[in-house]
Amino acid sequence: MQNFLSLNLLTIANVTSLGLALVAVVAYWRLLGRSKALSADLDKVARELSQAQTSDPVTGALTLAKFDAILEEACHRSDASGRPLAVIYLDLDHFRSANDAFGRIVGDLVLKQVAQRITEVIGAAPPLARLTGDEFALLVDGQLVDAKRVAKTFLAQLSKPFSVTTQQVRLTCSVGIAMYPDQGSRRNILEKAATATRTVKLQGGDGFAEYSQEAVDARRESAKLLHDLRGAVERKEFELFYQPKIDAHSLQITAVEALIRWRHPQLGMVSPNSFIALAERYGVIQEIGRWVIEEACRQAQIWRGQGLRMRIAVNISGHQLRQDDFAEHLASVLSSTQTLPSRFTCEITESIAMEDTTSTILAFDRLGELGVHVSIDDFGTGHSSLASLKRLPAQELKIDRAFVTDLGTSEHAQFIAQAIVSMAHTLKLRVVAEGVENRKQRDMLVAMGCDELQGYLFAKPMPASELSMRATTDRSDMPALFRPSIYSDTVPAQLK
């Protein structure tokens, strides 16, 4: 009886309604109240059959088990022919939020359409598998260029909206490519394609990448750095260096910009370029950013005690700015260190400043109310309009270093720098040029009407103690700008 049943069910397995047929049979036998032993046998058969199932009921794509078998065969074929094989791994970006927003039923229908679109791109009956919720894999016979072309087409096709019932769902995806046999073995090639997908995800998704050992090593290094970064504030591993900003005409120091340094116990001095983005991505920036504000204000108080009067500037990350209690924390530190808000500059990059999100607009309003000085950093790289600049409570604009570097060699850079200065002055903003390294650049910037200059030509970022020493020691080899100008009051920026 048992054999008969298994045999018949296996025959049914060849037709697509296998699942339903099986459920019906199981339910029927249970309904009839047949023996428990028989019911257990049927459950076992059902389990075996479901494992033998080759396609995913939601999308019709292959199951992982079936895909594995096909991959195995394809690798053998590739070994025999010497023709490479591309494994493509596709992961939808933020699919969970689409599922949450539209519900599971719509989500499943979208997945079905995703599988259909992928199939349309690569033609009939591709070896496409659904691996888990929103992850797919497929094989492309051919070279890397072929796989890249396919990946690009996926990105284009999947970015078109999906219409499900009355809903329009928009998606992007991350695609990873691994080439067999060059980049992996039969056992790990799928995992390597998945690794390549993770590289894309970490860069924000909506793109494709091929597997690269360097990317894996870099990620491992980042993971280690992130591990060390947590708790680095508590272990007192950070230090602030300070770089002066110089008035272009009087050559007085108007301000110093605080630039963070990390004394890593093994790696030595680590540049902020290596860890700020990491700290931002993994939420460590809040703790670091708060420390920077506290430390810079503490130092400003000490300098005031020594009679030094320059304004202090701090780089503020977008993540920090968007924190609800950012302005509150800043206000409390300014007050406890008796720092006048107008003597404290928040340097905020143009890309963050131009964000039109409620939290950023609110944050700028609060900075305006607080009365701190606001500087738009790295200006010229974003897409600011006059109108959007006008609505910001900013007093200063820093021309991005790239334009200053290219001033001597590029007419384009000269044109941009001049346009920035003119536009900023129309808006009554002071213009700072950063990264000034030689006299030629300095002279051109002064001729263009820049108000302040900053760069290695004047002073490199230095520890607070060195700055104090330069300002207070009477040495003839010190640049004139440190004495006596640093004792004079900061020239207040021309406010709107």
User: Which CB, 135 or 347, lies closer to Ca ion?
Assistant: 347
**If DSSP codes are grouped into helix, strand and coil, which group holds residue 224?**
helix
Q: Which does 456 bind (CB under 5 to 8 A by kind): ligand C2E, Ca ion, none?
A: ligand C2E
User: Which CB, 131 or 376, lies closer to ligand C2E?
Assistant: 376
Q: Which does 276 bind (CB under 5 to 8 A by kind): ligand C2E, Ca ion, none?
A: ligand C2E
- Least distance in Å: CB of 330 to ligand C2E? 13
Q: Give the closest residue to 491 by CA, choosing from 241, 242, 249.
A: 249
Is residue 261 a contact partner of residue 295, using CB atoms and an 8 Å limit? no
Within 133-252, strands assigned E span 135-141, 162-164, 167-169, 173-180, 207-210, 238-247
User: Which CB, 247 or 377, lies closer to Ca ion?
Assistant: 377
Distance from chain centroid for Cα 398 = 23
**Joined tokens for residue 77:** 């074929």
User: Which CB, 273 or 358, lies closer to ligand C2E?
Assistant: 273
- Least distance in Å: CB of 49 to ligand C2E? 58
Q: Cα(140)–Cα(147) distance, rounded to whole angstroms?
A: 6
Q: Is 350 in the site for Ca ion (CB under 5 A)?
A: no
Q: Is 378 in the site for Ca ion (CB under 5 A)?
A: yes
Choices 341-349, 385-393, 424-432, 464-472; region in contact with Ca ion by CB under 5 A:
341-349
User: Which CB, 51 or 273, lies closer to ligand C2E?
Assistant: 273
359: left (phi over 0), alpha (psi -120 to 50) or beta: alpha
Q: Which does 260 bind (CB under 5 to 8 A by kind): Ca ion, ligand C2E, none?
A: ligand C2E
Peptide bond into 492 cis (omega under 30): no
Is residue 392 a contact partner of residue 428, using CB atoms and an 8 Å limit? no
Q: Is 315 in the site for Ca ion (CB under 5 A)?
A: yes
Q: Which residues have CB under 8 Å from 20's CB, separation 6+?
A: none
Q: Is 452 in the site for Ca ion (CB under 5 A)?
A: no
Count of CB atoms situated within 10 Å of the CB of 10: 14
- Least distance in Å: CB of 454 to Ca ion? 9
User: Which CB, 102 or 238, lies closer to ligand C2E?
Assistant: 238
Q: Which does 345 bind (CB under 5 to 8 A by kind): ligand C2E, Ca ion, none?
A: none
- Least distance in Å: CB of 249 to ligand C2E? 20
Q: Which residues of 277-295 are buried (b: 16+ CB within 10 A; e: fewer)?
A: eebbeeebbbbbbbbbbbb
- Least distance in Å: CB of 257 to ligand C2E? 7
Q: Cα(25)–Cα(443) distance, rounded to whole angstroms?
A: 89
Residues near ligand C2E (CB under 6 A): 243, 258-260, 271-273, 276, 289, 292, 315, 317, 347, 377-378, 401, 434-437, 455-456, 461
- Least distance in Å: CB of 426 to Ca ion? 22
Peptide bond into 484 cis (omega under 30): yes
Q: Considering only the C-alpha atoms of the chain, give the largest distance between any 2 of them, rounded to a whole number of Å.
A: 106
- Least distance in Å: CB of 203 to Ca ion? 22
**411-426 vs 439-448: helix axis angle to the nearest 10?**
40
Q: Which does 393 bind (CB under 5 to 8 A by kind): ligand C2E, Ca ion, none?
A: none
Q: Give the closest residue to 248 by CA, choosing from 392, 387, 434, 393.
A: 434
Q: Which does 244 bind (CB under 5 to 8 A by kind): ligand C2E, Ca ion, none?
A: none
User: Which CB, 134 or 350, lies closer to ligand C2E?
Assistant: 350
Q: Which does 272 bind (CB under 5 to 8 A by kind): ligand C2E, Ca ion, none?
A: ligand C2E
User: Which CB, 273 or 476, lies closer to ligand C2E?
Assistant: 273
Is residue 176 a contact partner of residue 199, using CB atoms and an 8 Å limit? yes
Where does 230-385 have alpha helices with state H? 272-281, 285-305, 318-321, 326-336, 350-353, 358-370
Q: Cα(291)–Cα(394) distance, rounded to whole angstroms?
A: 24
- Least distance in Å: CB of 248 to Ca ion? 17
- Nearest-Å Rg of the Cα atoms of the chain is 31
User: Which CB, 210 or 400, lies closer to Ca ion?
Assistant: 400
- Least distance in Å: CB of 61 to ligand C2E? 44
Choices 115-123, 201-209, 281-289, 374-382; region in contact with Ca ion by CB under 5 A:
374-382
Q: Which does 273 bind (CB under 5 to 8 A by kind): ligand C2E, Ca ion, none?
A: ligand C2E
Q: Which does 215 bind (CB under 5 to 8 A by kind): Ca ion, ligand C2E, none?
A: none
User: Which CB, 176 or 318, lies closer to ligand C2E?
Assistant: 318
Q: Cα(437)–Cα(409) distance, rounded to whole angstroms?
A: 14
User: Which CB, 147 or 260, lies closer to ligand C2E?
Assistant: 260
# of chain residues touching Ca ion (CB under 5 A) = 4
Distance from chain centroid for Cα 54 = 38
Q: Is 377 in the site for Ca ion (CB under 5 A)?
A: yes
Distance from chain centroid for Cα 84 = 33
**If DSSP codes are grouped into helix, strand and coil, which group holds residue 127?**
coil
- Least distance in Å: CB of 424 to ligand C2E? 17
Q: Is 339 in the site for Ca ion (CB under 5 A)?
A: no
Q: Which residues bind Ca ion (CB under 5 A)?
A: 315, 347, 377-378
